[in-house]
Structure 1
Amino acid sequence: MVVAEDLHRSFGTGERAVHALRGVSFEIRRGELTALKGRSGSGKTTLLNLVGGLDSPTRGSVTLDGTDLAGLDEKGLLAMRCDRIGFVFQSFGLIPVLTAAENVGVPMRMRKVAAARREERVRTLLALVGLADHAEQRPGELSGGQQQRVAVARALANDPALIIADEPTGQLDSETGRSIMRLLRAVVRSEGVTVLVATHDPALMELADRVVELRDGRVVEPAE
């Protein structure tokens, strides 16, 4: 599903250059939940940005579902992110003035999905994440865990092949964090989607199919 080969990413030039990634290679199988672990500054977010097509490597390549991201122009990358990748962020990233249902529907509006089909998909996804009764509530009326569930539903809106989650439990208490990881685990099984999640919580890693560890921009402990 995802193949990263010899990824390097540097910021700046000369002696002041920061080498965020130093030759990272790994694969993610289709329908698998992979946890990416590492301390702050290890390169996790940089790697997620490269896999998600939000940034380009200094050297190396990322292939997503058979497509080399380096071969896509900005329009192609935008289409890839819209159609094939869903994103879940630590800060939830919901639009405050929109209801839960409206937030979930945003990606489908961008693709101009017909209203009837969009509303049906929103209902299905909110039920999937356990929020069928909260469709008309706005983010400020929801708990942190509920907001993140809305974010997961939104990430699934366009039926992506891959979901990328950057510390999705970072602002949640431990039990709520576990519930979000269990939800991602369930999504992998029910939707057949592939998930790459960055986390530093060992308890959450136990729910993953595989763990890839980054240290100082290098893979040091990929686990089957």
Structure 2
Amino acid sequence: MIRVDNVSRAYGTGTTAVKALRNVSFEIPRGELVALRGRSGSGKTTLLNIIGGLDSPDEGTVTVDDTDLTRLEEDGRLALRRDRIGFVFQSFGLIPILTAAENIGVPLRLRRTAVHERDERVSLLLSLVGLSAHAEQRPSELSGGQRQRVAIARALANRPSLLIADEPTGQLDAETGLAMMKLLRAVVISEGVTILVATHDQQLLGLADRVLELRDGKVMQT
């Protein structure tokens, strides 16, 4: 599903350049929940952004779902993010004036999905994340855990092949964070999605199929 070959990324130039990634290489097969851990500043977000097509490496190649991202122009990366990659961030990123159901349906509206198909998909996702009873509530009326569940459902709306989650439990308490990781595990099974999640929570790492550790811009598999 993901193949990263000798990827390097630096910010700045000359003696002040910061090397975020150094010759990173690894593969992730389809249908796995893989955790990415590392200290703050270890390069986790940079790596996720490159795999998600939000940034480009200085060197190396990244292949996602049989597509070489490093050969794509911006339009191609945009189409890949829209159609095959879903994103979940710790800030949730929900639209305040929309209900939970409407937030989940936003990606489907952007793709001009037929109304009946959109409604069916939204209903299915609300059920998957356990929020069918909260469909008409707005983000301000939901708990942090519920808002993150809406964000996960929205990321799944277009049936992506890959879900990227950057510290999705960062604003949640330990119990709610564990529930989120269990939900992601269920998503792998029910939706057939490959998930790459950045987290530093030791309890959550235990739910992953595999753990990749970033140290000083280099990956070590554990």
TM band (smaller chain): over 0.9
Q: Flag structure 2 segments of 5+ consecutive residues without an equivalent.
A: none
Q: CA offset at residue 110 of structure 1?
A: 1.1
1:130-175: per-residue Cα shift (whole Å, max 9, x none)? 0001000000000000000000100100000000000000000000
> Which residue pairs with 1:118 in the alignment?
118
Q: Distance in 1 between matches of 2:98 and 2:16?
A: 43
Shift of 1:81: 0.1
The residue aligned with 2:192 is 192
Partner amino acid, structure 2, of 1:163: L
What SS is found at the alignment partner of 1:55? Answer: coil
In the alignment, which residue of structure 2 is the partner of 1:65? 65
Per the alignment, residue 41 of structure 1 pairs with 41
Task: Tell me which stretches of 4 or more aligned residues in structure 1 moved more than 2 Å.
Answer: none
Q: Name the SS of the counterpart of 1:93 in structure 2.
A: coil
TM-score by length of 2: 0.99
Distance in 1 (alpha carbons) for counterparts of 2:20 and 2:71: 23
1:106 matched to 2:96? The reply is no
Residue of structure 2 in register with 1:18 after alignment: 18
Partner Cα separation in structure 2 for residue 123 and residue 47 of structure 1: 33
The CA distance in 2 between the partners of 1:107 and 1:71, in whole Å, is 25
Q: What amino acid does structure 2 have at the position aligned with 1:58?
A: D
Cα distance, 1:73 vs. partner?
1.1
Hey, what does 2:131 align to over in structure 1?
A: 131
Are positions 1:90 and 2:96 aligned together?
no
Aligned residues: percent identity? Answer: 70
1:216 aligns with 2:216: yes
2-structure distance, mates of 1:40, 1:70: 26
Give the alignment's TM-score, normalised by structure 1. Answer: 0.98
Aligned length: 222
In the TM superposition, what is the alpha-carbon distance from 1:56 to its structure 2 partner? 0.2
Deviation string for 1:24-71 (max 9, x for gaps)?
111111000000000100000000000000000010110001110011
Cα deviation for residue 116 of structure 1 reads 1.0
Q: Following the alignment from structure 2 to structure 1, what is the Cα–Cα distance between the partners of residues 58 and 145?
A: 36
CA distance in 2, matches of 1:28, 1:95: 32
2:168 equivalent to 1:168: yes
- CA distance in 1 between partners of 2:219 and 2:69 (Å): 21
Q: Residue in 2 aligned with 1:2?
A: 2
AA matched with 1:53: G
Question: Per-residue deviation at 1:17?
Answer: 0.7
Q: Deviations over 1:73-102 (max 9, x none)?
A: 111111100000000001111111110001
